[in-house]
Structure 1
């Protein structure tokens, strides 16, 4: 795996792998060269009440190969997330990292809280799940 992908894996909350979601528990490095990301099967427990919607949306995604990552935003409309018009084309890893480190973002004049993030390394997608908030 590339250094960029490893960097994103350490920042997101979960990863899609073999048509399953894996929640990130922790990560570490040994001598700054050997890296590990510890995961457990995603059950949605740590993402209540959003877990089922996150699973359904990410596992239903399809697409072809691209060489760079794209970010997709999903807005919470109880009882499920809906895709937002806000879609970013190919973005650099550092730009994605900045989004993943934020707790809030303003899009189209509205403030959103980041709820959960999922990396799909095969489709080169980062799914960003948000909820509108009034700060």
Structure 2
């Protein structure tokens, strides 16, 4: 096939580049590793994936990730030689997200959807004692754009100011759950 968009260049076993038109997308190896706070040791590798640089940025910025139908809180990130990346996680108990933990767990684990090729953002607003879906829904958002939102502490939507409380990535459903609380600034 002489189509340049389908060329695959293998650089390292877990680092590959795909030429698409004029740009190159570099893929990185990312491993989620379960970490024990008690023993300060890695318990096991949960999953290893190959992701684009934009997606790697997004995955490292969220507070938690849904893997194997469980929520995992992020503890830390690291890289080896800037190509092999790890996210250290512990099972999400809601302790780090009090008083929101139970609501976050319920909403993320109940989330459904079919396969999509791009990520979407789902906003959830805090109405004690639980989060409720906001009218602010976004489908097909660029991965880097979502990552940039995670750098903000506050956002203004529809003339109201919201504080970001917690964020959860569901890589299988390609969703980023953004949990917010309305604030007066």
Shorter-chain TM-score range:
over 0.9
Match of 1:102 in 2: 152
Preserved CA contact (<8 Å) 1:66 1:123: yes
Q: 2:95 aligns with which of 45, 65, 68?
A: 45
For these two proteins, the number of residue pairs brought into alignment is 135
Structure 1 unaligned blocks of 5 or more: none
| Bigger RCO of structures 1 and 2 (CA < 8 A, at least 6 apart) | 1
* CA apart distance, 1:6: 2.2
What is the rounded CA distance, in whole Å, between the counterparts of 1:4 and 1:109 in structure 2? 29
Deviations for 1:61-103, whole angstroms, at most 9, x for unmatched residues? 0110000000000000000000000001101111101110000
Assess if the C-alpha contact under 8 Å between 1:5 and 1:121 holds in 2: no
Structure 1 window deviating more from structure 2 (2-11 vs 123-132): it is 2-11
Counterpart Cα distance in 2 of 1:6 and 1:20 = 20
Q: RMSD between aligned alpha carbons? A: 0.8
More strand per residue: 2
More helix by share: 1
TM score, norm. by length of structure 1: 0.97
In 1, Cα distance between equivalents of 2:159 and 2:175:
25
Match of 1:25 among 47, 67, 75: 75
